[in-house]
Amino acid sequence: MVGTQWKDTHYTLGFQGEYKMDRLHHNGFRKLRLFGPLVREELLPGINVVWVFTPEDIEQVFRAEGRYPERRSHLALAKCRRDRPHVYNTGGLLPTNGPEWLRLRSAFQRDLSRPNCVKTYLPAIDKVIQEFLNKITPGHNGNDFLPELSKLFLELICLVAFDVRLDSFNQKSELSSRLIDAALSINSSILRTDNGLQLWKWFDTPLYRKLKRSHLVLEQVAVELVTKKIEIMKLQNLNKTSHQPSLLELYLSSQHLDQKDVIGMSVDMILAGIDTTTNTSSFTLYHLATNLNIQEKLYEECLKLLPNCKSPITAEVLSKAQYTKAVLKESFRLNPISVGVGRILSQDAILSGYKVPHGTVVVTQNQVTCRLPEYFSEPDKFIPERWIKGHQMYKSTSPYLVLPFGHGPRTCIARRLAEQNMQALLLKRGTLSERERVSEKETDRDKEIIPHTQGCIDVAETNEIDGEVEEEGEAELISGHSKAHFRPLDQATMYPLHLALIVPEGCAGTRYTEAREQELLGIVLWGHELRTIHFHLIIRRFQVGWAGADIDAISLLINKPDKKEEKKDEMELEECQSQFYDNLAVMVDTGVVFSKE
């Protein structure tokens, strides 16, 4: 088992090293390549962690976790709560270990982990998702869809957990914005406070103060919701009214929990309910946007199960949505919620022939393992069919490979609810997107085209060139068709790119639904929407890294202002054009656009 030296790797002490804290999966690939499938790393003197890459070793880690699975995470969050004993009994379900963790877990999972209990919330969830889609679809042209998804999942968790609506889809909803910002701030602080010298244990560092401020925002809302619910429950008992109880009511009625326990769990539900499902859903929508054939198959299943966009999603519908589940699982494989699962061994374990003593911190590298060709054919491709039994792409795999929610007694307590919410969103969005494409073709309605600003546009090469050459500056241009797709910013640097200025005909995209034209045009992610568009491309080749800030210039460059726009918009366009050309490091004399049939 090879060890690495902390002084050569991490930058937790404030200096730059080879590994990046915000690129953990890249770090994992590098360790696997350099040292093999089992790596011991000394993060700080005397503090070791073992990284595990094979499914066989991952299985042994879970078999050695014992009655009380322990992990080393959310340490600063635990301290923040222990310092407020008038509000909390413990550090909460996330950081707590041992018998106290088992007490909390047993009480909270009774209702949250039962399939029949989770399914009872489907009608309310369906209604919220429909409202969300009605709000964001017509004329929505935002550059970043993540905040919109965050609002949706915040609204869903508050509805199911607390039986309240926050009016998150209202742009003026200050409470929703504060909760989302606070949750994101806490989650972004967890990894950095869990590693390094952890000076926050002795005095309030700037990062720890930030975590405390954000946590207080969630705490105040949780305390208010719990207090109000207690008053409502007293009135309901007096009036002897019957209704479907929220999770909060079930917890407050439990003999194994008190009010402080429930407040801690309420904060945890808000904290975990926003970030994880938001990121997973956004990756899934991205994969659908860049794989038109898969999007069409999903639409076919949506149309079969939900004849129209107003058809309700029921438990029976979800049970039959096999392709939807395969799409979600494939997204989990490529872009899981975390790189893997952390455990503190409660007993000795044999990993890859080495004896690893109890008390060792072990982290599984599932995200890396799931992209290795020895476990998945074409591992970097998005192929949902690999999870559908009976399909030629299906292959039995180890159950310890794709573990987005963890495994065993300490698996994510809200897994069933999270999967149900995401499946319902995909089904509803699938029916709505196709209905919009057909409707837009029939009405010939113009749409404003605004590309996403955090990435690059990658254009597929083709040898078919047909058309007349036009002159524009020093570049040769041929108008026509090609395929384009959007890639995340972290994949858009450090290697040659094919970048494109997309100039829609008439400065507005017209969607096409015929399969023949879809194959020609491909799919493009514009803002948050999945669109098939008819466009002209101007392709230039650059051997440079490309940043999101430069895409802003392209965005304005291709969206020429209407003649009725104010003069300042034209000046802004000229400024962006100038900035765009100034930023080019290397430029080939000619650019080519593939011809229109």
| 309 annotated ligand binder | no
Count of alpha carbons within 13 Å of 375, Cβ hemisphere only? 20
Q: How far apart are CA 6 and CA 1, in angstroms?
A: 16
State the chain's maximal CA–CA distance in angstroms.
82
Q: Which residues contact 546 (CB under 8 A, 6 or more apart)?
A: 456, 492, 493, 497, 499
Rounded CA gap, 591 and 537, in Å? 10
* Enclosing H/E stretch for 61: helix 55-63
| HSE-up (13 A, CA, CB side) for residue 337 | 21
Instruction: Take residue 221 and report the two structure tokens written for it.
Output: 């809302």
- Do residues 583 and 530 make contact, with C-beta atoms less than 8 angstroms apart? no
CB distance 85 to 75 below 8 Å? no
What are the CA-CA distances from residue 571 to residues 60, 538, 552, 567, 582 (Å)?
64, 23, 15, 6, 17
- C-beta of residue 516 within 8 angstroms of C-beta of residue 476: no
What is the enclosing helix (H) or strand (E) of 32? Answer: helix 24-35
The closest alpha carbon to 532, from 437, 457, 430, 445, belongs to 437
- Beta bridge partners, 44, equal 47
Whole-number Å distance between alpha carbons of 152 and 279 = 12
The annotation places the binding site for heme at 412
Residue positions forming the annotated binding site: 412
